[in-house]
Structure 1
């Protein structure tokens, strides 16, 4: 499936007829072609297609759209997955418009064999899936959280496949502690440099989704949370030794000081500066 951004085909030449807010970017996460956030009050999309899968959640209002000549809708509690190369349009279904978050995905595990199922049932009332998609958007907004984003994306991909190809019986996966220990050792060895989920899966010879489940089941924490906690732990010692926060951030493996501050406060409850002053 082509991995080029869908921007050229996703939005036609018709301008918005009312206030609008738009932000879009290319994250450094394999499988995510584009992230697109928008608030439209009157804008109506003409019929168009994408080269990638469109994963859509609406945070306020609702969108009405046509897919394969059938009218669909996306209230705020659903997740919509629109397949590539299938024409669709879109317009506000409420008087105050809609606010949406979209991921354009090029996922190797979602090939053309899933398109028919997505056309038949594009809107999914799945609260767990919706929470996962929302948390993935949050991770994608912050440089340096690529491992977290990859972990969340692989679980989303797995759940999407379950919706598009329901299983007769869901197998019960036992906790593979040995696999979890291998991943923990790998994370411990790469606290500073980090590791992508794909690299970890190749090293320990496991499917990425299985790897995330095994680690979380064995230790009660996701792999990305474990890695960030290890970095925060190192940062605490350096801060108490009098090192400046900006220097500490790069020394322990964070993208920048803001990246350190976000995770430090999440773990410790205060900012690095306040923690350092507590000496």
Structure 2
């Protein structure tokens, strides 16, 4: 009997991603099958061998693999110890259907920037409450994938200051209840990828970083006013107290509880 696989799967609250799948297989071999989604794969340990459209390919840990929807493929370990992988199943609308043929011909993408950004996206998806960050990261990843398939250079774009400032106004008005990137794009009549790029170039931070900063600032005021940390978390727009604590420590350098106690000690 082979080693028991280690599998985690979930559906995030992020438009554009149908499923997240993390797995460690010692000896599992996938038969020929298809998906009704784009399969975005990175391998963390070992190497995967697979056939796609009657062509054999390999997925080592240094590359990003993109398998198109409805195209049969299989897969098994190409290394004795098996493999560990992370997969995102993206909605078919996330990448133009006209690029399916390009993905069949070139499913292996050797791009360290893209590999790092896909890894960061997975890390973000592991934390409920960071959906805006995940949306921002997904927008840049999807744009990079499409550029690869079209063989377009990743040339710098001119910043749209008006769009960036309009987005900041929307974020200021809704940072507690939250605003999805897609909703912002509809309101501003701009592509969501353009919003991320324009905002980042204008203000030196991504939209999700700006929202997190606004929420932490509000949390600080509420804590100093005597509100209990669990209530502060929901009042400032965080998913729960753990979500508040993680971001509060990152920004302020201490826990919400210790920060609140400093106010008590001052009187």
Matched, 1:104 2:123: no
Q: Hey, what does 2:180 align to over in structure 1?
A: 196
The structure 1 segments of at least 4 consecutive aligned residues displaced by more than 6 Å after TM superposition are none
Q: TM-score, normalised by structure 1?
A: 0.90
Pick aligned residue for 1:173 from 142, 145, 157: 157
Q: Hey, what does 2:143 align to over in structure 1?
A: 158
Q: Hey, what does 2:207 align to over in structure 1?
A: 223
Contact 1:18–1:43 (CA under 8 A) maintained in structure 2: no
Secondary structure at 2:93's aligned position in 1? Answer: coil
Secondary structure at 1:56's aligned position in 2? Answer: strand
**Cα 1:136–1:170 shift into 2, 3 Å:** closer
Q: TM-score, normalised by structure 2?
A: 0.94
Matched, 1:29 2:14: yes
- Report the more deviating stretch, 64-73 or 50-59: 64-73
Q: CA deviation at 1:85?
A: 1.0
Q: State the Cα RMSD in Å.
A: 1.4
Q: CA deviation at 1:171?
A: 5.5
Which whole-Å deviations, capped at 9, do the CAs of 1:38-97 have from their partners, x for residues lacking one?
011111111111111100001111111111121111111100000111111111111211
Pick aligned residue for 1:205 from 181, 189, 195: 189
Pick aligned residue for 1:185 from 169, 190, 200: 169
Contact 2:46–2:81 (CA under 8 A) maintained in structure 1: yes
**Cα 1:67–1:126 shift into 2, 3 Å:** same
**Cα 1:23–1:170 shift into 2, 3 Å:** closer
Q: Hey, what does 2:228 align to over in structure 1?
A: 244
Structure 1 residue runs of 5 or longer lacking an equivalent are: 1-15
Pick aligned residue for 2:26 from 32, 36, 41: 41
Secondary structure at 1:108's aligned position in 2? Answer: helix
Contact 2:16–2:94 (CA under 8 A) maintained in structure 1: no
How many residue pairs align between the two structures? 263
Pick aligned residue for 1:85 from 51, 61, 70: 70
Q: Hey, what does 1:261 align to over in structure 2?
A: 245
Contact 2:24–2:83 (CA under 8 A) maintained in structure 1: yes
- Counterparts of 2:161 and 2:85, CA distance in 1: 39
- Counterparts of 2:189 and 2:170, CA distance in 1: 13
Q: CA deviation at 1:273?
A: 1.7
Secondary structure at 2:227's aligned position in 1? Answer: coil
